[in-house]
Structure 1
């Protein structure tokens, strides 16, 4: 989410979800962290960034909104969940998430019933399967408690990358000017730029709007997340999907997404 007390072009550019590394070691050093500390730290880069640049409180947001243009960029809840799994958990690509991934394997491997027709030997699976990750998310939701800052206490499994929007973006408490969607980001971005009056600052010319078709692309190996949804969701049981939908139900309802297609992906 973002609000503009005074609109700045660079602020908008940095807020757009292009496929850059989320938070680089260099940017964290700029924030005041020493390289040696970053190498030793067991905290995620995002949590380290939040310590230096905390989210504004609901009161601060409400105070800023009357003189600001604010927007929130959302995505299909289950596509966002799978994207987080592929980028953070699958393949052990991120150091911070390796410990979490190993805990998923220890807790759920060989202890859950696979979806019909999807059983395979897991002895050679080095990273958690999507089904194991989903079981972790479900367990985290059952045990985690929201704290006063909007984060979670309890099992450290409700990471901000896959926590429901309504848990940390305050869409129920704050009336954002624009709710943009990843699925229509190029069009929505044009609208926000026009509404904010920053087209000239970004070097945009009249008539440029809508001429830059762009899709949100997942940097994970194996293709765009939207294209591989069935491959992953067919490994879930109906019980898992029911529990998962209950966790993200408000996100689906608030932002106009439908879960039906995911039930169609379940094995017969």
Structure 2
């Protein structure tokens, strides 16, 4: 009789405690579903010692610390690599592929180490970034702000793949189309006949650059609300972060060739007409790109450089992403990148990176040598650009030169 009574007392007390707990955490529980439905997929099973028990504190756990705990249980500390699997959610098959867990069977553990030369190359590039960010002799807008101070709209180039724990900051005119293809393959966000697409080159170009195909940091606010910025920092800490860069001046030549020497209606109307009116003595330029090309009229490379140096340009709108500086796109002084690739060593760097991510048996980087802009062309392209304009242009892009280890182009700047 006494045992039964004691049992009923425990049931009542337990129920009361649960009701109280729900009331206390009601607001947070209402928002938690925004995060919990996004799984982190398993990667290769890597043995690791059991985690040390955290020190006991008297502070009441917050919902934000619960998010950390939830993410940490799926990640190998300090590597950004998934460890233990999460259960398959079959309740809603209409969820996007990037939000579903599909067991992977392609994983393998590599038996031979990455070449010491490639590891040293990455160590040098990461160390250089850290040194330049700490060096007071190099100054640029936004260098010393915190990650929290970066406006949400400036985080739109950071693509997240939760399946493999990867964050890629894409830089236009630096093989970003192919790296976006790789991110689509890895996230399995594109299905063909119900099966994830496996061939990067089979992905149409219009889909590659379709923002709906990529989950970027600037979309976190809509999905996670007030916890968005905190969750970004959790993933930045745990995931593998990478970007690819190239010589800043060569990147500008490539942007000009692609957007103004080819028929591009959008860039003609938005930018070329402005350049023709301001710098080419064409008060009424042709209405369409076809009319302009038919009459042999398009901005010269020198006009393009004038446009970049014109203070009025940025007053009207920020630089277009194809010629915006990398430090403005990827925030290298606020984000500690784990891998910095150079287009000049793209094949070696891509192989190294995919192997480091342990996905080189899932996807290969599609190389292409079609219509590439070579560094050796710089002198020819800048011949028609006045010397003073070249030096002003270098000042505009000097942070990118120094942050990523590109030599000052003295042959162009000292003539």
Common topology (TM > 0.5): yes
Which of residues 94, 97, 101 is equivalent to 2:267? 97
Could you tell me whether the CA contact under 8 Å between 2:161 and 2:183 is conserved in 1? no
- In 1, the alpha carbon distance for the partners of 2:405 and 2:161 equals 26
Unaligned ranges ≥5, structure 1: 29-45, 112-123, 145-153, 205-211
* Aligned: 1:230 with 2:379: yes
Q: How many residues align?
A: 209
Structure 1 residues 155 and 55, CA, compared in 2 at 3 Å: closer, same or farther? farther
- In 2, the alpha carbon distance for the partners of 1:136 and 1:67 equals 41
TM-score, normalising length: structure 2? 0.43
Partner of 2:354: 193
**Other structure's SS at 1:176 match:** coil
Structure 1 residues 218 and 243, CA, compared in 2 at 3 Å: closer, same or farther? farther
Partner of 2:401: 252
Could you tell me whether the CA contact under 8 Å between 2:159 and 2:216 is conserved in 1? no
Structure 1 residues 262 and 136, CA, compared in 2 at 3 Å: closer, same or farther? farther
Unaligned ranges ≥5, structure 2: 1-157, 167-177, 185-199, 219-227, 283-294
Deviation of 1:55 (Å): 4.1
* Aligned: 1:183 with 2:344: yes
**Other structure's SS at 1:180 match:** strand
**Other structure's SS at 2:340 match:** strand
- In 2, the alpha carbon distance for the partners of 1:238 and 1:61 equals 43
Higher relative contact order (CA 8 A, sep 6+): 1
- In 2, the alpha carbon distance for the partners of 1:254 and 1:15 equals 25
Q: What is the correspondence of 1:110-121 to structure 2 with a 5 Å cutoff?
A: 110=281
Q: What is the correspondence of 1:4-83 to structure 2 with a 5 Å cutoff?
A: 4-7=161-164, 13-15=181-183, 24-25=205-206, 27=207, 49-50=210-211, 55-57=216-218, 59=229, 61-83=232-254
Deviation of 1:158 (Å): 1.4
Structure 1 residues 251 and 23, CA, compared in 2 at 3 Å: closer, same or farther? farther
Structure 1 residues 131 and 245, CA, compared in 2 at 3 Å: closer, same or farther? same
Question: Is 188-197 or 129-138 further displaced after alignment?
Answer: 188-197
* Aligned: 1:138 with 2:309: yes
Structure 1 residues 247 and 51, CA, compared in 2 at 3 Å: closer, same or farther? farther
Structure 1 residues 189 and 90, CA, compared in 2 at 3 Å: closer, same or farther? same
Deviations along 1:177-228, whole A, 9 cap, x unmatched?
A: 10100001111111111111112223x7xxxxxxx995x6463xxx644343
- In 2, the alpha carbon distance for the partners of 1:23 and 1:172 equals 34
Structure 1 residues 180 and 134, CA, compared in 2 at 3 Å: closer, same or farther? same
Structure 1 residues 228 and 125, CA, compared in 2 at 3 Å: closer, same or farther? farther
Deviation of 1:262 (Å): 4.9
* Aligned: 1:173 with 2:344: no
Deviation of 1:90 (Å): 2.0
Could you tell me whether the CA contact under 8 Å between 2:327 and 2:400 is conserved in 1? yes
Deviation of 1:86 (Å): 0.2
Please report the RMSD computed on the Cα atoms of aligned residues, expressed in angstroms. Answer: 3.7
Partner of 1:86: 257
Larger Rg: 2
**Other structure's SS at 2:217 match:** coil
Could you tell me whether the CA contact under 8 Å between 1:164 and 1:248 is conserved in 2? yes
- In 2, the alpha carbon distance for the partners of 1:255 and 1:3 equals 23
- In 1, the alpha carbon distance for the partners of 2:213 and 2:180 equals 20
